[in-house]
Structure 1
């Protein structure tokens, strides 16, 4: 794997490098040998984040969620902003850094495999006629589905540290790359003067599902007052933004209850609730059963019905 960043990791960011022993197993397993992750992470407001690689021996994907940065590839410079996707093949020396005044928030993945070039070509060929975007940078815009795929990949490392968990991560990587090819033709967004960019709002929610998020932050992202933001959001979705955010948290909690053996308190903390009792109340209000009952469902010890 190419040299990872030495940027000091703050509490709300994550970085995971796949152990070399596991990479060797992925490289030889029939399910994962064609394409597999070597490292992935999420950097929030990555102030002073910088990287220079003269030797690049894997493939790198970066998706910018917020802020800005700068990329240099073979003496060409690219200014990166929210919604931009960076996709670098191996062998391309490069440098990048977060903007000093508006440091970017990014997802990133290093990956490898003999089919990696095929996936990059597939994404490149998905562009519609007249697309003149760079071969390294694509302005995809904000897509909540894409954020969800990154979050699923990040969540896969919580399931286990055996080979099966990483084979699943390899499948998630394949799914993420094919989703990029699907949404790339829709990259040009036409925003009407008073429209609400739901994808941007939902992407922000997905990325912050493990934290707290208030109406002020969401309304600011939409460039609307709180009143007009809530009104417009409800007109388009039939629910309130906070209610949707809570449901995203509960979806994430259900995944963790299904896929891990983490204690209820750990699951609560992972979706942004410091108080496990309060989390259990919210969970039961949404799902009709407690987190403990939900977990017991997978063993058949309890049926799915409200009390």
Structure 2
């Protein structure tokens, strides 16, 4: 059987010298995310890699066409178009392109302190077979941006730019719905619609039942859905939006504090001050003073 590590027509790859990688591995910003290898293999027939000891870096493979398969630490995984494969550092693995319909893949090897945390979440997601993402031209363009930046050399500025771009690139695999969310182009789900409702109701006082009623759901079911997606209860989230708006009014208007409280639907200025202090760590008056001093 023919097996190939590389050498595919139209392939692109950059292998960063180990000396350069070591230089940036312990440097501010770049120690959080750094790339060691990056490439693109179109229709990679006979592509095959077997690493019983794993690698020193994490590996990400994004299949955009064709198919392949992988065995990661004993788990067998079919890989099809718009699937991703994530392999944590030091993890035994084998992967191959399908001989009849070989994959086209974007791939990279990377590391970093924050990278380790994100990879752990991606690995869990992949093992739960939640590793299919929506094809996105902006996402592929982001990969090209990273690749083209490395083509310009390994300057401090280039490597720091990549370190700051990588989290956004990886977010498409971890939070694909949010990465591809365009409110003007697709239907909102219940939670998104509720958040939009809350933002237009900042000046009101709403009970949990009133919020659930606009979603046409029971309070318990709605609350569970909302918390699962946002990590907060509906009332907590509403209060976050209220205080966010209050901060803007404190910064950019001359309204008195009790007027700002009324503008966000709170009639009791003392309750407003307590709520504000709980979230922001200082009183509304102190917040305005800090903002005024920071501008001077």
Length-normalised TM-score, structure 1 = 0.52
Larger radius of gyration: 2
Q: 1:114 to 1:29 in 2, by over 3 A?
A: same
- The aligned counterpart of 1:90 is 89
Structure with greater proportional helix content: 2
Q: 1:7 to 1:91 in 2, by over 3 A?
A: closer
1:240-295 deviation digits (Å, cap 9, x = unpaired): xxxxxxxxxxxxxxxxxxxxxxxxxxxxxxxxxxxxxxxxxxxxxxxxxxxxxxxx
Distance across 2 between alignment mates of 1:137 and 1:81: 12
Q: 1:76 to 1:179 in 2, by over 3 A?
A: closer
Q: 1:76 to 1:186 in 2, by over 3 A?
A: same
User: Following TM superposition, by how much is the alpha carbon of 1:67 offset from its aligned partner in structure 2, in angstroms?
Assistant: 0.3
- The aligned counterpart of 1:42 is 40
Is the CA contact 1:85–1:137 (under 8 Å) kept in the aligned structure 2?
no
Consecutive aligned runs of 4 or more in structure 1 exceeding 6 Å deviation: none
Length-normalised TM-score, structure 2 = 0.54
Distance across 2 between alignment mates of 1:48 and 1:123: 26
Is the CA contact 1:86–1:137 (under 8 Å) kept in the aligned structure 2?
no
Distance across 1 between alignment mates of 2:25 and 2:6: 30
- 1:172 matched to 2:172? The reply is no
- The aligned counterpart of 1:264 is none
User: Following TM superposition, by how much is the alpha carbon of 1:121 offset from its aligned partner in structure 2, in angstroms?
Assistant: 4.2
Please, which of 117, 121, 145 is the counterpart of residue 138 of structure 2?
Answer: 145
Is the CA contact 1:152–1:172 (under 8 Å) kept in the aligned structure 2?
no
Distance across 2 between alignment mates of 1:136 and 1:169: 29
What runs of 5+ residues in structure 1 fail to find an aligned partner? 128-132, 188-307
User: Following TM superposition, by how much is the alpha carbon of 1:178 offset from its aligned partner in structure 2, in angstroms?
Assistant: 2.3
- The aligned counterpart of 1:160 is 153
Partner SS, residue 97 of structure 1:
strand
User: Following TM superposition, by how much is the alpha carbon of 1:124 offset from its aligned partner in structure 2, in angstroms?
Assistant: 6.7
Aligned-residue RMSD, C-alpha: 2.5
Q: 1:184 to 1:94 in 2, by over 3 A?
A: farther
- What are the within-5 Å matches in structure 2 for residues 1-307 of structure 1? 7-56=5-54, 57-121=56-120, 123=122, 134-135=127-128, 138-183=131-176
Is the CA contact 2:88–2:123 (under 8 Å) kept in the aligned structure 1?
no
Distance across 2 between alignment mates of 1:58 and 1:21: 15
State the number of aligned residues: 177
Distance across 1 between alignment mates of 2:90 and 2:64: 26
1:131-158 deviation digits (Å, cap 9, x = unpaired): xx62576011322222122111111122
Is the CA contact 1:25–1:163 (under 8 Å) kept in the aligned structure 2?
no
Distance across 2 between alignment mates of 1:166 and 1:107: 19
- The aligned counterpart of 1:302 is none
Is the CA contact 2:58–2:119 (under 8 Å) kept in the aligned structure 1?
no
